[in-house]
């Protein structure tokens, strides 16, 4: 659900459209970058390896545009030949059209067209390679970065948000690189080229066409600012509506149980009406740009026809000039409309790039020790000495924690849910760094160990079992690279998972779907146990989760866990009294910190939090009456 929220209404992945994006309209609010110049410069740096190709693309677009701009000027010569021939033919009594000349002109024109098309193709072809390669390396860089980020980063933001950066922002950047960049070049070149060509034909008529220019700017600007108002309203209503839908659907059961359907519908209709009102206005006003710009174009067209006609009769210009001019005048308004939407697109692209760069600038994990150590024969002694730790610098969590564990001991961690048992895992496996004090394994400070090695000393069987899309075999074998088939099956057997795996249609080669919902929660847990057994760690972190498993499977899991714990140092997030009682050390946690530690008897004698907990949860039935 989170993910859904993170991705929001515009999250659909745009398939790369062949010709421009119809999505962004004038006035549609796009996200604005904070530092446009800096980000743009940084983004452009990614083109450095492709500098030559980019140069080629630039040259190709310029050439292609120049050739297409030149063509009306060439074409007019053919027209002029015809007109001249006609005039000539009228005075003499046979056709005086100089077809040899027309042939030459048309051939020249044909060459221009072919070249323009060719360069345009090459430009897009090369750009496809550059754009995709750039996106590829950016994506790779971001992924590599993610691997070096500390867990603090991932814990502090929803997965959906990171995913959305990946999906939407890269999509945005990819499209822009592919299309908008060259469009920008083409638009600018066209704009300048057309002005130059028009000036060479007739400065007077150029002036007339220029008269429409302020009008174009005015219209573009007005429409943009008007429609922005409606777009913002539309966005707001859409947000409200989507929020309402999400809420009512996720709470469907409660909506039904409490007969809230009518109320839900009323609210829905209210938001829906609002969305309609601002929605159609936004569409309408922003859509006005097309007819209005078309009208301005026509205005220029009329002016050129009339005044051009007038000038021809004065002999200042000829008919071919009018023809060329009409073509130029049409091309003239296009870049203006285009540029306004291009600037919008570029803004939003740079904003996307900025979000990605922000991610790339996140602080990384503390680098490895200079000469990281690997324990050759890890035993599993764990010492936590004077450790201070807090997630939030404002709020102290663990202060002066001291725990000493000998190899092979079992440590039970007890306390209410959400008491911060994961904190211990985070510190032991160095997912988070301690603020003060140190943690050592077999007497070696964990910061001196190679991270990968340190983590391989631990085996985790937690409640949120993580399995990936792949076969069951692959999921178990994840525990150790190069495990043989026999070892994998042996691990599955030890974890009591072999039996259920074999009852599945494809046995070990059954593919788990994305949410691994094709096997039960208990079966998932057995698989994670098998994975831990295969990994053969010296220290275990187990969660005795009972809630999600049926009684029979639970017995299997208990057996498997007991077997796994033999001879290993085990931290057990304990739910069972037997585990707690038999533990060598009990850590009582509440509000994120260890408040008591000792054996069962010691703690009971202390008559503190643990005793209280023990009595109410396990021994004393009072208060259980309903």
Site for other proteins, residues 148 to 207, rule: CB under 8 A: 151, 154, 159, 162-163, 166-167, 174, 178
Is residue 353 near other proteins by the rule CB under 8 A? no
Judged by beta carbon, residue 33 or residue 297, the one nearer other proteins is: 297
CB of 596 to other proteins, least distance (A): 16
Structure tokens at 210: 């220029």
Nearest to 105 by CA among 306, 325, 320, 314: 320
Is residue 117 near other proteins by the rule CB under 8 A? yes
CB of 114 to other proteins, least distance (A): 7
Is residue 9 near other proteins by the rule CB under 8 A? yes
Is residue 530 near other proteins by the rule CB under 8 A? no
Q: Contacting other proteins (CB under 8 A), which of 59, 284, 358, 436?
A: 284
Give the whole-angstrom CA distance, residue 486 versus residue 582.
34
Is residue 260 near other proteins by the rule CB under 8 A? yes
On the CB side of 140, CA atoms within 13 Å amount to 7
Residues 6+ apart with CB under 8 A from 296: 212, 215, 216, 219, 333
Q: Contacting other proteins (CB under 8 A), which of 125, 204, 210, 217?
A: 125
Is residue 367 near other proteins by the rule CB under 8 A? no
Judged by beta carbon, residue 196 or residue 265, the one nearer other proteins is: 265
Is residue 100 near other proteins by the rule CB under 8 A? no
Query: For residue 607, is it left (φ>0), alpha (ψ between -120 and 50) or beta?
Result: left
Structure tokens at 623: 């208060």
Judged by beta carbon, residue 380 or residue 479, the one nearer other proteins is: 479
* Interactions with other proteins, residue window 377-396 (CB under 8 A): none
Judged by beta carbon, residue 292 or residue 351, the one nearer other proteins is: 292
* Interactions with other proteins, residue window 297-326 (CB under 8 A): 298-299, 301-302, 305-306, 309-310, 312-313, 319, 322-323, 326
* Interactions with other proteins, residue window 480-519 (CB under 8 A): 481, 514
* Interactions with other proteins, residue window 578-617 (CB under 8 A): 578, 581, 613, 616-617
Is residue 146 near other proteins by the rule CB under 8 A? yes
Is residue 228 near other proteins by the rule CB under 8 A? no
Is residue 211 near other proteins by the rule CB under 8 A? no
Mind spelling out the 3-state secondary structure of 459-493?
A: EEECCCCCCCCEEHHHHHHCCCCCCCHHHHHHHHH
Judged by beta carbon, residue 196 or residue 555, the one nearer other proteins is: 555
Q: From residue 277, how far is each of 21, 26, 233, 241, 538 by CA, in Å?
A: 25, 19, 9, 13, 65
CB of 116 to other proteins, least distance (A): 7
* Interactions with other proteins, residue window 15-74 (CB under 8 A): 15-19, 22, 68, 71
Q: Please count the residues of the chain.
A: 626
Identify which range of 213-221, 289-297, 337-345, 348-356 contacts other proteins by CB under 8 A.
289-297
Which residue has tokens 């010691």?
Answer: 602
* Interactions with other proteins, residue window 414-433 (CB under 8 A): 416-418, 425, 429, 431
Q: Please give the biggest Cα pair distance in the chain.
A: 129
Q: From residue 19, how far is each of 22, 127, 179, 180, 529 by CA, in Å?
A: 9, 14, 8, 10, 53
Judged by beta carbon, residue 18 or residue 393, the one nearer other proteins is: 18
Count residues near other proteins (CB under 8 A): 172
Judged by beta carbon, residue 210 or residue 249, the one nearer other proteins is: 249
CB of 386 to other proteins, least distance (A): 25
CB of 139 to other proteins, least distance (A): 5
* Interactions with other proteins, residue window 233-252 (CB under 8 A): 238, 241-243, 245-252
Q: Contacting other proteins (CB under 8 A), which of 51, 59, 114, 196?
A: 114
Judged by beta carbon, residue 404 or residue 615, the one nearer other proteins is: 615
Bridge-partner residues for 404, per DSSP? 383
Check if the beta carbon of residue 423 is closer than 8 Å to that of residue 389. yes
Is residue 548 near other proteins by the rule CB under 8 A? yes
Q: Contacting other proteins (CB under 8 A), which of 43, 78, 573, 588?
A: 78
Cα end-to-end distance, the chain, whole Å: 35
Check if the beta carbon of residue 441 is closer than 8 Å to that of residue 380. yes
CB of 102 to other proteins, least distance (A): 6
Give the whole-angstrom CA distance, residue 121 versus residue 119.
5
Mind spelling out the 3-state secondary structure of 116-182?
A: HHHHHHHHHHHHHHHHHHHHHHHHHHHHHHHHHCCHHHHHCCCHHHHHHHHHHHHHHHHHHHHHHHH
Judged by beta carbon, residue 419 or residue 489, the one nearer other proteins is: 419
Is residue 334 near other proteins by the rule CB under 8 A? no
Judged by beta carbon, residue 36 or residue 590, the one nearer other proteins is: 590
Structure tokens at 437: 């004090």
Is residue 109 near other proteins by the rule CB under 8 A? yes
Mind spelling out the 3-state secondary structure of 318-360?
A: CHHHHHHHHHHHHHHHHHHHHHHHHHHHHHHHHHHHHHHHHHH
Give strand ranges (E) for 13-122. Answer: none
Q: Contacting other proteins (CB under 8 A), which of 34, 41, 143, 485?
A: 143
Judged by beta carbon, residue 33 or residue 237, the one nearer other proteins is: 237
Is residue 217 near other proteins by the rule CB under 8 A? no
Q: From residue 148, how far is each of 152, 158, 334, 452, 568 by CA, in Å?
A: 11, 18, 47, 12, 30
Q: Contacting other proteins (CB under 8 A), which of 56, 82, 195, 604?
A: 82
**Neighbouring C-beta atoms of residue 427, cutoff 10 Å:** 20
Check if the beta carbon of residue 489 is closer than 8 Å to that of residue 451. no
Q: Contacting other proteins (CB under 8 A), which of 279, 378, 380, 420?
A: 279
Structure tokens at 50: 């492709």
């Amino acid at each position: 659900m989170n993910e859904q929220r993170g991705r929001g209404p515009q999250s659909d992945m745009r398939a790369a459209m062949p010709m421009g994006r119809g999505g962004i309209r004038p006035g549609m609010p796009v996200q604005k970058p904070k530092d446009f110049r800096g980000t743009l410069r940084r983004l452009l740096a990614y083109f450095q390896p492709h500098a030559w190709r980019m140069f080629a693309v630039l040259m190709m677009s310029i050439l292609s545009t120049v050739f297409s701009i030149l063509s009306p000027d060439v074409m007019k010569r053919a027209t002029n030949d015809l007109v001249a021939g006609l005039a000539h033919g009228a005075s003499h009594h046979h056709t005086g059209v100089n077809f040899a000349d027309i042939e030459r002109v048309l051939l020249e024109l044909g060459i221009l067209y072919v070249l323009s098309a060719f360069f345009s193709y090459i430009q897009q072809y090369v750009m496809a390679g550059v754009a995709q390669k750039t996106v590829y390396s950016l994506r790779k860089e971001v992924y590599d970065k993610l691997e070096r980020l500390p867990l603090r980063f991932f814990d502090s933001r929803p997965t959906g948000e990171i995913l959305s950066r990946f999906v939407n922002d890269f999509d945005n950047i990819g499209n822009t690189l592919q299309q908008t960049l060259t469009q920008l070049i083409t638009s600018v070149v066209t704009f300048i080229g057309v002005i130059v060509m028009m000036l060479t034909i007739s400065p007077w008529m150029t002036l007339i066409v220029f008269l429409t220019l302020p009008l174009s700017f005015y219209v573009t600007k007005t429409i943009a600012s008007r429609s922005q108002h409606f777009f913002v309203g539309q966005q707001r209503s859409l947000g409200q509506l989507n929020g309402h839908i999400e809420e009512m659907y996720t709470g469907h059961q409660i909506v039904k149980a409490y007969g809230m359907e009518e109320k839900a519908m009323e609210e829905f209709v209210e938001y829906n009406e609002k969305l309609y009102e601002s929605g159609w206005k936004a569409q309408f006003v922003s859509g006005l740009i097309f007819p209005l710009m078309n009208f301005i174009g026509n205005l220029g067209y009329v002016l050129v026809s009339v005044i051009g006609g007038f000038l021809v009769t004065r002999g200042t210009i000829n008919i071919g000039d009018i023809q060329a001019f009409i073509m130029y005048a049409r091309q003239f308004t296009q870049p203006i409309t285009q540029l306004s939407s291009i600037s919008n697109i570029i803004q939003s692209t740079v904003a996307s790039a900025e979000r990605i760069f922000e991610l790339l600038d996140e602080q990384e994990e503390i680098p490895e020790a200079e000469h990281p150590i690997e324990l050759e024969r890890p035993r599993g002694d764990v010492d936590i000495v004077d450790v201070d730790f807090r997630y939030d610098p404002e709020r102290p969590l663990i202060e002066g924690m001291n725990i000493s564990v000998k190899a092979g001991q079992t440590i039970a961690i007890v306390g209410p849910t959400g008491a911060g048992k994961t904190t211990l895992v985070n510190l032991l496996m160095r997912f988070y760094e301690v603020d003060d004090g140190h943690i050592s394994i077999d007497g070696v400070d964990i910061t001196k160990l190679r991270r990968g090695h340190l983590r391989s000393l631990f085996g985790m069987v937690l409640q949120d079992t993580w399995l990936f899309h792949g076969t069951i075999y692959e999921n178990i074998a994840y525990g150790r690279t190069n495990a043989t088939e026999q070892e994998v099956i042996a691990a599955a057997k030890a974890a009591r998972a072999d039996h259920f795996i074999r009852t599945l249609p494809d046995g070990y080669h059954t593919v788990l779907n994305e949410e691994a919902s094709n096997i039960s929660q208990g079966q998932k847990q057995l698989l994670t146990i098998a994975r831990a057994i295969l990994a053969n760690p010296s220290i275990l972190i187990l969660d005795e989760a009972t809630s999600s498993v049926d009684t029979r499977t639970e017995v299997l899991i208990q057996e498997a866990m007991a077997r796994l714990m033999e001879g290993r140092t085990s931290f057990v997030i304990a739910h069972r009294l037997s585990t707690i009682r038999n533990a060598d050390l009990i850590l009582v946690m509440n509000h994120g910190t260890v408040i008591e530690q000792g054996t069962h008897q010691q703690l009971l004698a202390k008559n503190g939090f643990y005793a209280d907990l023990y009595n109410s949860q396990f021994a004393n039935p009072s208060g259980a009456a309903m």
